[in-house]
């Protein structure tokens, strides 16, 4: 804390699974309770008393925590539930995988829980969020009609069009599988 050294915070999401968050800084400590306060953002290093924030600072802190803590934990849990594969194309490169929200983040039901997530590679995540690709509540992948009719190179043909009609690969654990109502909600948006 005195040297202002950036640290890596490891969050234990499951036994033997640690999600790193960095850089973080220790900004206050309380010797009597042996606890300390971690800032997730450089901005909080200059605050005189980090243990009593103004309303604005508190709002910013909550938003930062969401981005810096909750999102990486969500990503880690979702990708792990799907055995580090894209649920549409089975691509197995962790660094190319993302955790997609089914109910979007902004929706009241858009909680960062595994059953509201899908492990998708970057291209399928983007296509899903752009409603160029839909997933039925019964886990079947559907492509936008126009996209399906287009003629172009191998990414369109193999990466997207050949996914039409494929069934999602689901997590082994039942409680990790995508919520049916959430899928139905998003599928409706795709249909519209």
Instruction: Give me the least distance between CB of 104 and Zn ion, in Å please.
Output: 19
Candidate segments 2-10, 30-38, 92-100, 114-122, binder of Zn ion by CB under 5 A: 114-122
Find the binder of Zn ion among 21, 61, 86, 99 (CB under 5 A). Answer: 86
Give the per-residue SS3 of the chain: CCCCCCEEEEEEEECCEEEEEEEEEEEEEECCCCEEEEECCHHHHHCCCCCCCCHHHHHHHHHHHHHHHHHHHHHHHHHHHCCCCCCCCCCCCHHHEEEEECCCCCCCCCCCCHHHEEEEEHHHHHHHHCCCEEECCCCEEEECHHHHHCCCCHHHHHHHHHHCCCECCCCCCHHHCCCHHHHHHHHHHHHC
Find the binder of Zn ion among 24, 114, 121, 133 (CB under 5 A). Answer: 121
Find the binder of Zn ion among 89, 102, 112, 135 (CB under 5 A). Answer: 89
Q: Pick between residue 19 and residue 88 the one whose CB is nearest to Zn ion.
A: 88
Q: Pick between residue 69 and residue 89 the one whose CB is nearest to Zn ion.
A: 89
Candidate segments 46-54, 61-69, 81-89, 141-149, binder of Zn ion by CB under 5 A: 81-89
Site for Zn ion contains 88 (CB under 5 A): yes
Q: From residue 124 to residue 143, what is the string marking binding to Zn ion with x (rule CB under 5 A)? A: x-------------------
Which residues are at the interface with Zn ion (CB under 5 A)? 86, 88-89, 91, 121, 124
């Amino acid at each position: 804390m005195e040297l202002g050294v950036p640290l890596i915070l490891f969050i234990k999401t499951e036994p033997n699974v640690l999600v790193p968050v960095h850089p973080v800084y220790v900004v206050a400590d309380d010797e009597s309770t042996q606890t300390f306060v971690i800032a997730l953002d450089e901005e909080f290093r200059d605050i005189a008393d980090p243990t009593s924030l103004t309303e604005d600072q508190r709002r910013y802190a909550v938003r930062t925590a969401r981005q810096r803590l909750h999102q990486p934990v969500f990503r880690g849990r979702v990708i792990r539930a799907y055995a580090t594969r894209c649920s549409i194309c089975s691509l197995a490169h962790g660094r190319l995988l993302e955790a997609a929200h089914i109910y979007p983040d902004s929706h009241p039901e858009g909680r960062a829980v595994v059953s509201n997530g899908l492990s998708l590679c970057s291209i399928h995540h983007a296509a899903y969020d752009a409603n160029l690709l839909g997933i039925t509540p019964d886990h079947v992948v559907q492509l936008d009609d126009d996209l399906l009719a287009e003629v172009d190179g191998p990414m369109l043909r193999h990466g997207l069009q050949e996914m039409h009609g494929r069934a999602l690969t689901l997590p082994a654990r039942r409680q990790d599988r995508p919520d049916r109502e959430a899928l139905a909600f998003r599928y409706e948006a795709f249909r519209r």
